[in-house]
Amino acid sequence: MANLEILVSELPTLIQSLKLTIGDSNEITEQIVLINNAQEQLRNIQKLIAQEFQFQNIKTSAIATLPRIDTVASLFISSVGFVHPAIIKKFGNSETKISLTELQSKIDDWIEWGYFLQAIATDILSDVKLINKLNDINHLSLYAEFQILAERLQIDLVFENSHILEGQIQKITNSQNELFQFQQKLNYIFNTIKNSRSLLNILLGASAFYGKSGFALEWLDDNHELIISSDGKFKELTDILNERDFFQEQIHALIIQSDTLKEQAEEALKKIWHKIRISQEPIISQQVEIVPKFSTQKIARSALIIASSILILGFGSWKIREHLSLTQERSAIANFKSAQKLGMEAASLVQSPPHLLKTWQQAETKWYQAINLLDSIPHETSVADRAEEKLAYYRINHKSITQRILIEKQALANLESAQKLATEANLYVQNPPHSLLIQQQAQDKWQQAINLLEAIPKSTSVYIQAKEMLPNYKTNYAAIK
CA 389/CA 401 separation, integer angstroms: 19
Residue 74, pLDDT score:
36
Ranges of residues in the chain with a pLDDT under 70 are: 1-5, 56-98, 222-224, 278-324, 434
Q: What is the pLDDT of residue 61?
A: 44
What pLDDT does residue 260 have?
Answer: 86
**Residue 160, SS3 per DSSP:** coil
Q: What are phi and psi of 236, to 5 degrees?
A: -75, 145
- Type of residue found at 270: K
Separation of alpha carbons 360 and 303, rounded Å: 69
pLDDT at 57: 56
Angle at 475 between CA 480 and CA 54, to 5 degrees: 135
**For the sheet containing 20-22, what is the strand order?**
20-22, 215-220, 226-230, 233-236
Which residue type is seen at 218? E
Between CA 103 and CA 109 the distance in angstroms is 10
Q: How far apart are CA 229 and CA 231, in angstroms?
A: 7
Backbone angles phi, psi at 212, to 5 degrees: -65, -20
Instruction: Determine the longest span between alpha carbons in the chain, in angstroms.
Output: 126
Q: DSSP character for 346? A: H
Q: Which of 160, 146, 170 is nearest to 261 (CA)?
A: 170
What gap in Å lies between CA 243 and CA 25, rounded to an integer? Answer: 28
pLDDT at residue 229 in the model? 86
Closest by CA position to 108, among listed 353, 387, 430, 374:
353
Q: Residue 58 has what pLDDT?
A: 46
Q: Give pLDDT, residue 16.
A: 80
Q: Are 402 and 351 in contact (CB under 8 A)?
A: no
What contacts 233, CB < 8 A, 6 or more positions away? none
- Residues forming beta bridges with residue 219, ordered by sequence position: 227
Confidence (pTM): 0.53
Q: At what angle do helices 162-195 and 384-428 cross, to 10 degrees?
A: 50
CA distance 148 to 24: 26
Q: Burial level of 466, CB count in 10 A (0-12/13-18/19+)? A: buried
